[in-house]
Amino acid sequence: MKLHNDLFFDNLKSSIEKVKEIPFSVDSNGKIGAADSCCVSILAYNKKGYRTMDVSEDALGKGMSGQVYIKRYGDGKPKEIQFVTNGKVVNTLLATPTKGGNYGTAQIYDEAGKLISFYDDVKVNRYGKIIFMKSFKPDSTLQQTIVNNYQEQIWVGDSIRTAAVEKCLQGLSRWMKSCILQRSCKPS
C-alpha cells in the first residue's frame, strides 16, 4: 500500500502551500453570483504535500469553530491533530503507528488532557485512506463503528454506527429475518 499525499486526494498538482476556497451562489441559469457570506475554507500543505491545516473563516476573516491543525510523521501519517474553537484547543488526537508502520491506535484527549475516547481496528484501502475503524470509550466500551467509502481515491461518503444503533440493527436484522421466513412483516 502506497500512502499518497493530500494534494493527490485533493486533485492538485505541483507544490501548493495553501488553497483558499470561497463558495459563490449560482442562479438557475448557472450564472455565478455573489460570494457566500458564510464561510471561507483554507487548507495548508507541507513541503511533502500533506495537509497541515484545515480552517474556516467568516466573510470578515474571523476564524470559525472547527479549526484543525495537523502534525505528521515523516511518512505523512497523522501524528497529532488539534481541534481548535475560538483560539483554544478543545481536543487533541494522538496517533501511534504499529511497529510495521501501519495505522495503530489513536487517542483523543479533551482540553484538560483527559482521555475521552480512542480508535482501534483501523483498516485502510490501497491508497492509504482509512476505510474502517472503531471508536471506544476510555473503559474500552465500543462507542461507534466508522466506515468511509471511496471510489478509487475519492471519498464518496461514510457511515457511523453508534453502539446503540448496532444493537438496534441487530434486533432489526432478527425481525427482518423472521419477516422473510414468515413471508409477512407485521411489527410485533
Three cell numbers, residue 115: 482521555
Which whole number is the average pLDDT over 100-123?
A: 91
Tell me, what's the pLDDT at 39? 78
Q: Is residue 14 within a helix (H) or strand (E), and if so which, with residue range?
A: none
All residues at 6 or more sequence positions from 72 whose CB lies less than 8 Å from its CB, including other chains: 46, 48, 50, 52, 78, 79
Indicate whether 98 pLDDT > 70.
yes
What letter represents residue 175's amino acid? W
Highest-scoring range by mean pLDDT, 38-47, 133-142, 166-175: 133-142
Distance CA 22, CA 154 (A): 21
Mean pLDDT of 40-49: 91
Q: Kindly tell me if the per-residue pLDDT of 145 is higher than 70.
A: yes
Residue 79: pLDDT above 60?
yes
CA angle 130, 136, 140 (to 5 degrees): 135
Q: Residue 123 is placed in which grid cell?
A: 483498516
Cβ-based burial of 5 (10 A; exposed 0-12, middle 13-18, buried ≥19): middle
> CA quadruple 69, 73, 77, 80: dihedral positive or negative?
negative
Sign of torsion over alpha carbons 44, 121, 164, 117: negative
> Among 31-40, 118-127, 144-153, 171-180, whose mean pLDDT is lowest?
171-180
Q: Which among 24, 19, 18 has a CA at the least distance from the CA of 39?
A: 24
Cell of 6: 493530500
pLDDT at 41 over 90: no
pLDDT of 176 strictly over 70: no
pLDDT (0 to 100) of residue 125: 85
Judge residue 51's burial from the number of C-beta atoms within 10 Å of its C-beta, 0-12 exposed, 13-18 middle, 19 or more buried.
Answer: buried
Are the beta carbons of 77 and 70 closer than 8 angstroms?
no
